[in-house]
A and B are shown apart, each in its own frame.
Chain A
């Protein structure tokens, strides 16, 4: 487990984007999503169940994800999420948005401030 000061809060709405990105790789259940985000972020992000599941359900109700029960690798039934056509469009648009935003923010923050190194 990472130390507390290595973790940081995700900006509002970013979790939804990350979840959709992970789900876009193929049908996947909640636990695996959390694991995958942790791995892909090189352990920098640890998604709490308390925010993961409400977000998953919200995306499902918005019809950006669909869910189906299938047996998992361990043989137990798990709820697998999949991106819908609408979700795919949404993800693409949001990803573009995010890139633009980080670019812009990056441009502004590029210079070094006096007294900072």
Chain B
């Protein structure tokens, strides 16, 4: 019979074993009778010789090799029965574990997908991003990783040979025309060097990728992503080889990317060759940092030695262009880290928070188990007196916590399956290239969490419950009531730890919440109420001269101003709070030349029409706004922000000074331009949560072709004017798509979604932990009250007042709470330093937050203690003395 068979046919095997041994015994007796011993005597002899039949049976059972499974099953059955006898306890602890393990699993799923799982490329371990880097740059990621100038990339690729290959891409946007009567739309696109797909090893689902001969200016090939292919072209494979129109230019679709391919994010709709929409000037500039470079390592070359020639090449470039902001170094970055970017920190923080919650959950279950252990003290003592080994008793107790955690873990994984998708969906900043899903590794992680939790929750109570010398335990009669002091102390310690961790979580949540509220009410430096914003981009093919661009823009502004309910209209390339957009270096012509090694002044760049500042309510500090005359070629004017004036023209009158700007970002402009400062305006924030930066505003009427953003201030609900405004645009050019139609408050709110999510989640974890701590506190004090019933009865019979009893019990319960509070406050000072950079406008030692946390915790602790303390003070002394 096989091992499994032996396990399942236990009954039959037992019967056969018994029969076999009985036969042996009877045969022995028969032999003795035959040799002349009377039967009774013979049986006695035989029994003596035979020894303990049960012992033999046990040895035989052991030889089956299934005994451990059987005792495990017995333990399980026993534990299940015991858990079912106290359904309240069981449900609470399973629910606690389910929530904790579910939350931990969900966050781990996201963390693993985003930070750990390699991208679905060929041999992703050998892929690395390469950025430019300025030596001595600030340590934050924004300053460390400078995007690569196309000209630098071409030099790296042609002159260094440490990498197998390098490829680059840059972001862009196009107007996609309706081919069969659909509305035109703006689409996000990637322009990638022809070898990009070959390098990462992505095969198209249909057609082919780009060839080297197609990567040139004016190239007419395009690849679609799967989502655009399905959405706009109905998944019709015949689209390959046909033409679509981008910015009015016909392009031939050569391939469709597979459905899993969502790099670098799911918003990208199509890919074009890198040089197709670039200009020779941009490709030749070493300071136009617009691209991301990916490189594949040779199998036999280390990253450091592959990078060395690239660093040397970049340093030479830096020396060759001393007056341009050409970086002097390069720096590698892993693909995962590159995509995770801003998500890593909040994710780490949330993992910590959920870890704390898990710990509290374990402590809570542990606490409840200690209480149960006390109730079973006598049973354990009697069993160990009968010879049960301590290991057996501990194993039995552990089985109980394993069962609780396993049930909780199962429910938790189920919960997490439901929650992970919506969490990932709500978290806007998450990269989507890897796909977020629960896989085998996540399940393995959840199992590991379950068993660690089971050990943590079960081991302490199990060890403490079996530690008692059995004689002591047996001696404790219910009447003395003071025998389990040590266990009560243990429970109080567990509670203190629980409350301490809760306080840390509460403080973290409070700080995040406060910083989110600050962010939401932050002043971006201009009017945001009742303002509608929308984007459009005039395609360069149709609007090929500044005159045509201005004609469109000015006509549109005129028509929109005439709409009912419109107060004012601003036209620029962007508005405050809408993002970084772009920056540019400059020099002040009247100042002496820069010292070698001195960093060039750098400012954000914006374009503004004459009505821009008035309409947005950005105050004029000195000088004047633009007028409709600031369009004459050859007389270049600029308006600067107050901060630029303070930082780079300190103590001077900025009006009339000249800023020398390398203006190659403007296709129609000469590459070096001197701008005269005509005005100084108030500072604005480019993004809520970031500090103000020096800003330069150029006249929109120069004929800017960087895309337009229209801001319309209205008398009432701005969304009501959105349709009339779009109709005006369509009447001027029916092929022109409009995008991002939002109120300014919505637009700013969008950038805060993730801060809100982080704060809310951490707050949710903190509140849950607070609830758990309260339950723990209530449990401990209820138990203490029950234990001291007799004692309290005697005290009251001897004249103790009810008020005094109430105070006594309250103080007993609140002591661990206060102690935990103190520990937690100390802990949170250390903990909050870790995520200081995520806080906006609140210091780690924020008095409002700290006092709110202290008040909340004390209130909850008092509430949790009040019920049992009240019950104690209402005891009827006679009843209490009779309880035994």
Contacts and interface: CB of A to CB of B under 8 A. Distances in A.
Interface of A: 29-31, 34, 48-51, 53-55, 57-58, 61, 69, 72, 74, 76-79
Given A34-B24, A57-B64, A79-B19, 10 more contacts: A49-B21, A49-B24, A50-B51, A51-B59, A53-B21, A54-B59, A57-B60, A61-B64, A69-B16, A79-B16
6 contacts: A30-B20, A49-B50, A55-B63, A57-B63, A77-B23, A78-B27
B23 A72 contact: yes
Contacts of A57: 60, 63-64
A78 B23 contact: yes
Contacts of A69: 16
Interface of B: prevailing SS: helix
B21 A74 contact: no
A31 B27 contact: yes
A58 B24 CA distance: 18
B65 interface: yes
Contacts of B20: 30, 53, 78-79
B26 A76 contact: yes
Interface string B30-47: 100000000000000000
Nearest to B20: A79
A31 B55 contact: no
B23 A79 contact: yes
Given A49-B56, A54-B59, A30 B24 contact: yes
A34 B26 CA distance: 14
Nearest to B57: A53
B208 interface: no
Nearest to A53: B60
A61 B19 CA distance: 18
A81 B696 CA distance: 101
Contacts of A58: 63
Nearest to B27: A31
Interface string B55-74: 11001101111000000000
Interface in B1-36: 1, 6, 16-17, 19-21, 23-24, 26-28, 30
A77 B19 contact: yes
A53 B56 contact: yes
A29 B23 contact: yes
Contacts, number: 59
A44 to B, nearest CB: 17
Contact of B28 (A31, A48, A53): A31
Contact of A31 (B6, B24, B62): B24
Contacts of A55: 63
A61 B65 contact: yes
A49 to B, nearest CB: 6
Contacts of A48: 51
Contacts of A30: 20, 23-24
Interface string B177-214: 00000000000000000000000000000000000000
B63 A54 contact: yes
B19 A54 contact: no
Contacts of A79: 16, 19-20, 23
Nearest to B50: A49
Interface hub of A29, A51, A61, A74 (most chain B Cβ within 10 A): A61
Given A49-B21, A49-B50, A53-B20, A61 B63 contact: yes
Shortest 3 CB-CB distances between A and B: which pairs?
A: A31-B27, A54-B59, A58-B63
B51 to A, nearest CB: 6
A54 B67 CA distance: 13
B59 A50 contact: yes
Interface string B581-625: 000000000000000000000000000000000000000000000
A60 to B, nearest CB: 8
B18 to A, nearest CB: 11
B64 A74 contact: no
B280 to A, nearest CB: 84
B268 to A, nearest CB: 64
Nearest to A46: B49
A74 B24 contact: no
A70 to B, nearest CB: 11
Nearest to B65: A61
B1 A61 contact: yes
A72 B51 CA distance: 24
Contact of B60 (A54, A76, A77, A78): A54
A59 B60 CA distance: 11
A55 B51 CA distance: 17
A31 B6 CA distance: 24
A100 B60 CA distance: 31
A48 B6 CA distance: 25
A61 B9 CA distance: 14
A61 B50 CA distance: 24
Contacts of B19: 77, 79
Nearest to B26: A76
Which of A34, A54, A69 has most chain B Cβ within 10 Å?
A: A54
Contact of A54 (B23, B27, B28, B62): B62
A55 B28 CA distance: 19
A5 B62 CA distance: 30
B800 to A, nearest CB: 65
Contacts of A74: 27, 30
Nearest to A79: B20
B502 to A, nearest CB: 55
Contacts of B64: 57, 61
Contacts of B16: 69, 79
A69 B26 CA distance: 16
A55 to B, nearest CB: 8
B28 A50 contact: no
A104 B17 CA distance: 40
A83 B55 CA distance: 27
Q: Which of B27, B30, B64 is the most central at the interface, judged by chain A CB atoms within 10 Å of its CB?
A: B27
A54 B55 CA distance: 11
Nearest to B28: A31
Contacts of B17: 53
A53 B6 CA distance: 16
A31 B56 contact: no
Contacts of B62: 54
Contact of B6 (A49, A50, A61, A72): A61
A92 to B, nearest CB: 24
Contacts of A77: 19, 23
A50 B61 CA distance: 12
Contacts of B6: 61
B308 to A, nearest CB: 64
Nearest to B3: A61
Contacts of A78: 20, 23, 27
B56 A50 contact: yes
Contacts of B24: 29-31, 34, 49, 53
